[in-house]
Structure 1
Amino acid sequence: MNVTLSATLAANEEIERRRRAGERVLHLAFGEAGLPVHPALRERLIAASEHNGYGPVAGASALREAAAGYWHRRGLPTDPELVVCGPGSKALLYGLLLAIGGDIVLPMPSWVSYAAQADLVGARPLFVPAPPGEGGVPDPEHVVSAVLRARSRGREVRSLLVTLPDNPSGTLASASTVRRIVEVARELDLTIISDEIYRDLVHDPGATGFLSPADLAPERTVITSGLSKSLAIGGWRIGVSRLPSVGLRDRLLAVASEIWSSPAAPVQQAAAYAFTEPAELVRRIDESRRLHGTVARAVHKRFVLAGARVAAPQGGFYLYPHFAGLDFATSADLATHLLDEHGVGVLAGHVFGDDPRALRARVATSLLYGETTEQRLAALGAPDPLELPWISASLDHLSEALTGLYAMRRAPLRHGRVRLAPASVTG
């Protein structure tokens, strides 16, 4: 087993350590939603605090019924008996790897924990690059050859994972790509795990649309989701999954019973309320979606102006720029330089399974909304959050850092980490 502390958590702790020491650091390395808990959710949690029993392994019936209703309203009729809840969708994903077994196909790049969890359960991930501009789904045509080659060597490949919309790129796979990956999964008899934790944060759902593999192949698709991103309650640790069969549900429940027993009872009560989608929480998600999109697009503009190549964000609060033309040996060297020399924290692309030599990094924009609850609420309600002084200052910090970074094309750094880039290299 070769698993270390999660790269996202390690980066967050290091940046917070530097900030406590008085360093000025722009925190773009941690995928937390960066918003306050809605008062209605706090009230429900307080009211449920007397619930101290373990409860059913699958989760409280009220929560499972509410989650089933959530999917039903999105065109996916769901039996509450096929809903399993857990302490975050991350735990559910780990349980699913154990319950399904075998090796798994992952998009490259993909969220850091997918491959780490596969390693923990003794599985080997098959990394397949995503189509250009469509992160989160492994290229369907390459999946076929990768799986057949692995199986010819005796590997038992049983599942395939997609993220809609994607972390780390913030993009959303097209409907045609989703349709083709479903066809491939049928051809190869693969279970599809669809991580849809960011589904409700697609920036322009009317224009972009959203197609889940479960719309096309409900018999082989598991959906995992939760409230950590849409309602900013990551620390509450609550997730839900929609299972395609009783058999897989029972295997997942067996795993859950030995790992987490049951989700926290008070949090389940508050989550049940949230999944019924009352008007005040729908408004909060709408406000969050607008804020995430506005700030992500502003950050995207600054990277493009500096010379980086980066797909436009479509959902969530991530970007995945390629720092074209710079002369670092690895993405880790690039990330270290950005933090040490420019006070900007990002996550290097290699932790997402990317080629370490490719100068790519994940940028999370969701901690730019403010340091206090008051600032974050102001960002939620502002007609133009980019005009708020603390957000404007952060964007200026980023622009200054990128200007300094790309100035290295013209002059080497004094400490010698970077060689003079050839004049023929372009952005």
Structure 2
Amino acid sequence: MSKTLATHPHTASRLALSELAPGAMQSEIRAMSVECDRIGGINLAQGVCDTPVPMQVESAAIAAIVAGHNIYTRQDGIGRLRKAIAEKQQREYRLNYDPETEVMVASGATAGLHAAAMALLNPGDEVLLFEPFYGYHVTTLRSMRVKPVLVALAEPDWVLDIDALREAITPRTRAIIVNTPANPSGKIFNRAELEAIADVAREHDFFVFTDEIYEYFVYDGAEHICMATLDGMRERTIVMSGFSKTFSVTGWRLGYVTADAKWMGAMGYFHDLTYVCAPSALQHGAAAGLEQLPPEFYKQLAADHQSKRERIVSALRDAGMEPSVPAGAYYVLAKASRLPGETSAQKARHLLAKTGVASVAGSAFFRPGRGEDLLRFCFAKRDADLDEACVRLRRL
């Protein structure tokens, strides 16, 4: 008798989801964005950054399409953009990177992290992250069967507890992820904190992955410090940043990584394997931005968003939702204890139904059981939309 699918003893187990899939779910950020779109609300949930694109960036991308720059580039990006990134790192941080071997244009900073983790980490390794965390950092590691180990920052000002960091180290620890300025807290790690983290990394021979996508969104005279500038850290630091936030082009998926040449070859291989290359014509737009925009652009960017921060902070206070005022990035975590609901996800959905303003449940940025009394609001919005959201929040 011939064997059929119905009688084959292994059929049921072979037609199954992967071990990772049952625990995977749509992020709370995207879920709230979908619900906001459904009701036609104002989306302060997702960091879409829908402020205007600089003219130099936009026009250069359009010109590149017309000029025929629509085919594959090198997996690590066009030479013009790699050179502009290297010059930017030298100009801003006095870091010297060879644009031929130490700069990679990625399909977003998220792709940069993915490529770095694939190249430098193994299944079963552990990576230390600070809590509150950005969910994509955690889920990217988990997707590679790398274990994220959370180290809580001390509330209410999200201060580094270096003893807690040291206590989280195990023989399997391989790296630390530092997001500064941070999503969702807006924390900027100061020099003393970064030096303490660097001491741990050098002592235990760890990599440090730094997500610096919000490097220009700093307020009240605060300073962004790149970890790779500290003594002995350039070789072990993988710097990730991009153009999504700075140039308001989140949909372009353009980021970059700068790192020592000994690591970049493997990272480039995995970026090629997953993404092939970043969007070709759009790379020319980003290059034009780096080449042409003056220092005043970045100062004005910070000033504009500090003004937006003041407006949303004031509205949240008037609504009885005490905010944690961020030092950087463009998000605010606010207390939601006055809103009905046992979980922050329920509170966020109540707020959306009541006001038409979408936020994100604080639990999306903490381990289970934490963050249930917090909501996150994004204020990188056009002024008219942000002001209308503030009016609606004050109605509470």
- Whether TM-score is above 0.5 comes out as yes
CA contact (8 A) 1:70 1:277 kept: no
Change (3 A) 1:182 1:322: farther
The equivalent of 2:36 in structure 1 is: 15
Aligned residue for 2:257, secondary structure, equals strand
Does the 8 Å CA contact 1:194/1:213 hold for their aligned counterparts? yes
Which of 30, 34, 45 is residue 46 of structure 2 equivalent to? 30
* Alignment pair present for 1:268 and 2:283: yes
Match of 2:97 among 67, 74, 78: 78
Q: Which amino acid aligns with 1:268?
A: Q
Residue of 371, 378, 390 corresponding to 1:395:
390
Deviation readout 1:293-335 (Å, 9 max, x if unpaired): 1111222233334444432222221111233566742222221
1:107-146 matches, within 5 Å, as 107-132=130-155, 135=158, 139-146=161-168
SS in 2 for 1:210: coil
Deviation of 1:79 after TM superposition, in Å, equals 2.0
1:147 matched to 2:169? yes
Secondary structure of 2:234's counterpart equals coil
Q: Is the 8 A contact 2:184 2:333 kept in 1?
A: yes
Cα shift readout 1:235-259 (whole Å, capped 9, x = no counterpart): 111111111x223111101111211
Q: CA deviation at 1:133?
A: 5.2
Q: Deviations over 1:144-201 (max 9, x none)?
A: 11113xx3xxxx2211111111110122122211111111122222111111100012
Q: Which residue of 2 aligns with 1:421?
A: none
Matches within 5 A, 1:289-308: 289-308=302-321
The superposition leaves residues 359-378 of structure 1 with CA deviations (integer Å, 9 ceiling, x where unpaired) of 1121111235236xxxxxxx
The answer for the alignment partner of 1:380 in structure 2 is: none
8 Å contact 1:109–1:352 — kept in the other structure? Answer: yes
Does 1:259 find its partner at 2:265?
Answer: no
Could you tell me how far apart the structure 2 residues matched to 1:268 and 1:250 are? 20
Question: 1:51 and 2:92 equivalent?
Answer: no
Cα 1:353–1:103 shift into 2, 3 Å? same
Which residue does the alignment assign to 1:68?
86
Q: Which amino acid aligns with 1:64?
A: R
Alignment of 1:204-353 (within 5 A): 204=220, 207-216=221-230, 217-243=233-259, 245-279=260-294, 282-324=295-337, 328-353=341-366
Q: Does the residue aligned with 2:335 lie in a helix, a strand or coil?
A: coil
- Cα separation, 2, equivalents of 1:131 and 1:82: 35
- Secondary structure (helix, strand or coil) at the match of 1:30 reads coil
Cα pair distance change 1:354/1:297, threshold 3 Å: farther
Structure 1 pair 261–247 and aligned structure 2 pair: CA distance change class (3 A):
same
Query: What is the TM-score of this pair, normalised by structure 2?
Result: 0.86
* AA partner of residue 47 (structure 1): A
Query: Amino acid of the residue matched to residue 7 of structure 1?
Result: E
Consecutive unaligned residues in structure 2, runs of 5 or more? 1-19
Q: Distance in 1 between matches of 2:138 and 2:38?
A: 27
Cα distance between partner residues in 1 of 2:86 and 2:379 = 31
- Distance in 2 (alpha carbons) for counterparts of 1:214 and 1:139: 21
Moved more, 163-172 or 33-42: 33-42
1:37 to 1:400, Cα distance in 2 relative to 1, 3 A:
same
Query: Is the Cα contact below 8 Å between 2:339 and 2:351 reproduced in 1?
Result: no
Task: Judge conservation of contact 1:84–1:240 (CA < 8 Å) in 2.
Answer: yes
Could you tell me whether the CA contact under 8 Å between 2:340 and 2:350 is conserved in 1?
no
Residues of 2 paired with 1:177 and 1:119: CA distance?
26
Post-superposition shift, 1:141? 2.0
Corresponding residue of 1:381: none
Q: Distance in 1 between matches of 2:391 and 2:59?
A: 38
Q: 2:102 corresponds to which letter in structure 1?
A: L
Alpha-carbon distance in structure 2 between the residues aligned to 1:259 and 1:392:
40
- Provide the identity percentage: 25
- Counterpart of 1:8 in structure 2: which amino acid? I
Contact 1:171 1:311 in 2 (8 A): no
Counterpart residue type for residue 394 of structure 2: S
Q: Please, what is the CA RMSD of the aligned residues?
A: 2.1
Q: Which amino acid aligns with 1:100?
A: L
When the two structures are aligned, how many residues end up with a matched partner?
365
SS at match of 1:187: helix
Q: Distance in 2 between matches of 1:84 and 1:78?
A: 11
Return the alpha-carbon distance in structure 2 between the equivalents of residues 324 and 69 of structure 1: 47
TM-aligned CA distance change 1:289 to 1:107, over 3 Å: same
Secondary structure, in 3 states, of the residue corresponding to 2:145? coil
Residue 16 of structure 1 and its aligned partner are, at CA, apart by 0.9
Give the aligned partner of residue 95 of structure 1. Answer: 115
Instruction: State whether residues 64 and 84 of structure 1, in contact with CA within 8 Å, keep that contact through their aligned partners in structure 2.
Output: yes
